[in-house]
Amino acid sequence: MKITKITSDKLGSNTYIVETDEGIIVIDPSVSIELITDVAKKAKKKIQYALITHGHFDHCCTAAALQKQGVKILMSAEDYSMFEKGYDLSRFFGGNFQKFVPDMFISEGKYNLIGLEVEVIETPGHTKGGLCFVIGNELFSGDTIFEMAVGRSDLPTGNSDQLGNSIKKLFDLRKNYRILPGHGENTTIDKERKGNPYVSEL
């Protein structure tokens, strides 16, 4: 498994491209379609799925373009409902959000995608339907937790109590996963459990 990280210059959000022998999964497509497909072309692999951690514009603004190319979009039903209410935050980023209908709604559990076991962990708090994804030794955390920081809970559908419970849920995982967050640099479960200054405030 190979992981390529691309950070959006405009939005500051991280897009992850996960490659196996069987194809590619994109997590939180927020950079240009050209940047994403360029990685796929160089790898000579087909992009088969895009997984969305939550329904904010800066984490799924390229999903519609990928879907038009045959990529299947997976996200939670709870966060898809945010689009209808205008809670996707596109107006704050000044972006033109091309909305989409996911090909599949996913919830907590394990899924087999391109030969990988993808564990979906429900982590509400930043948004009502926020998800984290565990693939191998990696935890893709979206905006639930960052390096020495946590996600905001004061946006529509956010809830600080739920966010605290979700982070505790991640800390209870029995493995020291490497955290690949929606913004910023990578970290680990152990590092955040021991030193994240915001966790005690939740």
Question: DSSP labels for 113-169?
Answer: ETTEEEEEEE-TTSSTT-EEEEETTEEEEETSEETTEE---SSTT--HHHHHHHHHH
- Rounded to two decimals, the pTM is 0.96
Question: Yes or no: is domain 2-201 CATH 3.60.15.10?
Answer: yes
CA 37 to chain centre: 18
At 201, the pLDDT band (50, 70, 90 cuts) reads low
Domains of the chain by residue range: 2-201
What is the rounded CA–CA span in Å between residue 14 and residue 28? 7
Residue-wise pLDDT for 9-57, tens only, equals 988 999 999 999 999 999 999 999 999 999 999 999 999 999 999 999 9
Closest CA to 82 of 126, 43, 42: 126
Q: Which residues contact 12 (CB under 8 A, 6 or more apart)?
A: 58, 183
What is the rounded CA–CA span in Å between residue 73 and residue 135? 17
What is the rounded CA–CA span in Å between residue 49 and residue 43? 16
